[in-house]
Amino acid sequence: MNILRRKTSAPMRPLKLNIGCGPIQPPGWVNVDGSNRAWLASKLPWLDGLLVWIGIFPATEFNRQTFFANLARRWPWRNESVDAIYGGEVLEHFTYQQGQRLLEECCRILKPGGVLRLRVPDNALFWENYLNEFHATRQKPPSQWTLDHTRWIEMFFREICVRPRLLRSVGHYHKWMYDEVSLTKALQQARFTEVQAMAFRQSRIDDIVSVEVRNDLIVEGTKP
Ligand SMILES: C[S@@+](CC[C@H](N)C(=O)[O-])C[C@H]1O[C@@H](n2cnc3c(N)ncnc32)[C@H](O)[C@@H]1O
């Protein structure tokens, strides 16, 4: 009787990053965030808990499992070590140059055939909404004009003006905006292939439903 049992090694789970995760931190993903609160809650959870208990901070989804990393710096993952990357509403929190570096870092750490999927607010749709409201207002006699449509402009500049605050996000304000054309070109410039706009929750990445909580402009590319 063969009493020797061969050790069977468990299959390796794919390494999937959810960059700029915020409160969306599903299991099966490495949920990465660079905000000060993510740092506090992941490195000193007892202090974060205490500050919540005292009532200084509101409760947070960031916790010991959150992977703290400032993605504006060099990323801590090795070349070609990651299977897939998802970024929901994060790229627009970087300047154009920083964003291009972020895409290059994604390309560096993804394995060949690995997929990057980004969801961003659609700049074209944003200004289309503004123009629709502007033209509709302009059709009316001036006595009926209101400043309703200026809320788009206000939103744009309020979001874009960057003033990081202590213990809030490192980059909670938008620093750039993308449309389908510019986002596609940005991924291609960072060497991604098969770059295309995708439908909500339809992806080459497994289990996308757990990280993709909202629809918007979504583009995917493959590391060659
Ligand atoms: C609008 S939230 C998006 C949260 C979530 N992904 C979602 O889809 O709702 C943007 C997140 O990006 C993170 N972030 C912004 N700049 C970052 C940076 N330089 N490094 C790491 N995370 C960053 C913020 O802390 C924030 O949690």
Cβ of 90 less than 6 Å from ligand 1: yes
Ligand 1 pocket, residue 99 CB under 6 Å:
no
Domains within the chain, CATH numbers bracketed: 16-125+156-222 (3.40.50.150)
**Phi, psi of 100, rounded to the nearest 5 degrees:** -65, -40
- 16 Cβ inside 6 Å of ligand 1: no
Global pTM exceeds 0.85:
yes
- Say if ligand 1 is within 6 A of residue 35 CB: yes
The residue contributing the CA closest to ligand 1 atom 12 is 20
The answer to whether 109 touches 213, Cβ cutoff 8 Å, is no
C-beta pairs of 181-189 under 8 Å, 24+ apart in sequence: 182/123, 183/91, 183/118, 183/120, 183/217, 183/219, 184/219, 186/99, 186/100, 186/103, 187/103, 187/116, 187/118, 187/219, 187/221, 188/221, 189/100, 189/103
- pLDDT tens by residue, the chain, 224 residues: 444 455 556 678 899 999 999 999 999 999 999 999 999 999 999 999 999 999 999 999 999 999 999 999 989 999 999 999 999 999 998 989 999 999 999 999 999 999 999 999 999 998 898 899 899 999 999 999 988 878 877 777 776 655 555 544 455 678 889 999 999 999 999 999 999 999 999 999 999 999 999 999 999 999 99
In the reported structure, the alpha carbon of residue 200 is separated from the centroid of ligand 1 by a whole-number distance in angstroms of 19
Between the CA of 4 and the centroid of ligand 1 the distance, in Å, is 51
Cβ–ligand 1 distance for 210 under 6 Å, the answer no
Distance 83 CA to ligand 1 centre (A): 20
